Amino acid sequence: MSEKSNHFPTTIHDFLTEYAQSDTIRLHMPGGKGADFPLDITEINGADVLYECSGIIRESERNTAKLYGAAETCYSCGGSTLAIQAMLYAACQRSGKRKIAAGRYSHKSLINTAILLGLDVNWIYPEEFLGCGLSPEAIGKAIDSDTAAVFVNSVDYLGGECDIEAAARVCRKRGVPLLTDNAHGAYKVFTGGHPIALGADMCADSAHKTLPALTGAAYLHLADSSYLADAKAGMAIFGSSSPSYLILDSLDLCARYIAEQRDDALRAAERVRELKARLTADGITLRQSDDMRITLDALSLGYTGYEAGQFLRLHGAEPEMCDERYTVLLFSTVQPERDFAAVYDILRKMPQKAPLTCENEPLLMPEKVLTPREAFFAPKITIPSEPAYSEGRICAGVFSPCPPCVPIVMPGERISADAAHALVRYGVTNIDVVNE
């Protein structure tokens, strides 16, 4: 058996490593038998059980919870999607209610969960299309006596941020829990401003987006331990009964990274800020964004966001997202140092042309006709998204360009002309509608 590490405890990793180094005959799943992936096991004796954990997984989750200042942390091998499903389930179980108030431009996992749980949604509208910034007044107006919880995004795909502290004050005053989708902000454990520290009751973090963890690795942080049983039950309902131990291993090691590499992570955030400052000083227009993102306003340079993205690809860099106006560059706390200088050199090579213009997307506020579940399970037909075909029809599916995976029209909403135009511009060519 290997010696235990003297570093931050990694109970999952230690067990997997010891098992891989043993001569145990693997008469269990998975079928690879450890040949190519020796740490890939199933829930064997001693490995604990993710949704009913009391051993190595439970200890690892508790270690991570302390790092984030949470009462409890639940590991997810299904990304923030599973964490969002679980926290909505937990909030509704606690309250016995089936209505939530939510930021209008939420990830599709929110609306999919509403369909599965039969939730009605009062939408909280931001000031701009696809933004997550919500005023306290708008949040307060969306809460009524039937509201089980308020759900908001902490960071949106363009790097905009929601005032979580202000949202939490409103929710406390109205006696409802605040649930946050912080999928893009797990790194805030280093830089400050994490939703749990700002008063959120539950928070979903995608570790894999900005921290060194495998794709699908995520956290559900709870500010109150009394939510734990329902959160785990929700994960068991929605998650796979075969969680990946490779992902769990990466979450365990990520906790060690958080505990021991704070200076390196803060240095990466500082490099992003420095790069933003250099680009701005050179006349390159950037949209204000969070600490791990650079959002290039490509139109100001004479390009669409898609064209700027292609320029980056031709010079050896792959952007996170491109749309008509913006090109998004997403960094992580372990970004190689050489990348910052390389990105600067690439963007400096981009010939600047006469600025282009485009119309700002209108803030869509479609009429709600049915609940998401009613619309999704109604008899439906598929039609072209163009206004001539879709205007006036009731949306019956979840259609979201990826990224940012935000539905433009929600199931149960009547499609307006503006919404139909937006669907087409974002590449949604066909849409399901209720067959009236």
Residue 162: both structure tokens together: 């929601």
Q: How far apart are CA 434 and CA 394, in angstroms?
A: 6
Q: Where are the domains of the chain?
A: 11-260, 262-349, 372-434
Instruction: State which H helix or E strand residue 221 sits in.
Output: strand 218-222
Task: State CA 364 to chain mean position distance.
Answer: 22
Q: pTM of the full predicted structure?
A: 0.95
Question: Which of these, 301, 293, 327, 294, lies nearest to 312 by C-alpha position?
Answer: 327
The answer to whether the beta carbons of residues 254 and 218 sit under 8 Å apart is no
Strand-pair partners of 326 = 297
Q: How far apart are CA 186 and CA 189, in angstroms?
A: 6
Output the pLDDT for position 360. 79
Residue labelled with tokens 């680009």? 279
Q: The domain 262-349 is classified under which CATH number: 3.10.129.10, 3.90.1150.150, 3.10.20.520, 3.30.360.10?
A: 3.90.1150.150
Please say whether the beta carbons of 294 and 321 come within 8 A: no
CATH label, 11-260, candidates 3.40.50.150, 3.40.640.10, 3.40.47.10, 1.10.3210.10: 3.40.640.10
Given this model, what pLDDT does residue 426 score?
A: 87
Rounded to the nearest 5 percent, the helix, strand and coil shares of the chain are 40, 15, 45
Buried b (16+ CB within 10 A) or exposed e, 377-396: ebebeebebebeebbebbbb
Task: Tell me how many degrees the CA angle 41-45-49 measures, rounded to the nearest 5.
Answer: 70
The fold adopted by the segment(s) 372-434 is: Molybdopterin biosynthesis moea protein, domain 2 (3.90.105)
The pLDDT tens digits along the chain (436 residues) read 334 446 899 999 999 999 999 989 999 999 999 999 999 999 999 999 999 999 999 999 999 999 999 999 999 999 999 999 999 999 999 999 999 999 998 999 999 999 999 999 999 999 888 889 999 999 999 999 999 999 999 999 999 999 999 999 999 999 999 999 999 999 999 999 999 999 999 999 999 999 999 999 999 999 999 999 999 999 999 999 999 999 999 999 999 999 999 999 999 999 999 999 999 999 999 999 999 999 999 999 999 999 999 999 999 999 999 999 999 999 999 999 999 999 999 999 999 999 998 877 788 899 999 999 999 999 999 999 999 999 999 999 998 877 788 899 999 999 999 999 999 988 899 999 999 8
Q: Within a 13 Å sphere around the CA of 280, how many CA atoms are in the beta-carbon half?
A: 11
Q: Which pair of structure tokens corresponds to residue 176?
A: 């409802």
| Among candidate residues 78, 320, 334, 322, the one with its CA nearest the CA of residue 206 | 78
Provide the token pair at 130: 């696809």
Alpha-carbon distance 56 to 46, whole Å? Answer: 8
d(CA 290, CA 185): 9
- State the pLDDT at residue 403: 76
Which helix (H) or strand (E) segment is 172 a member of?
helix 164-174
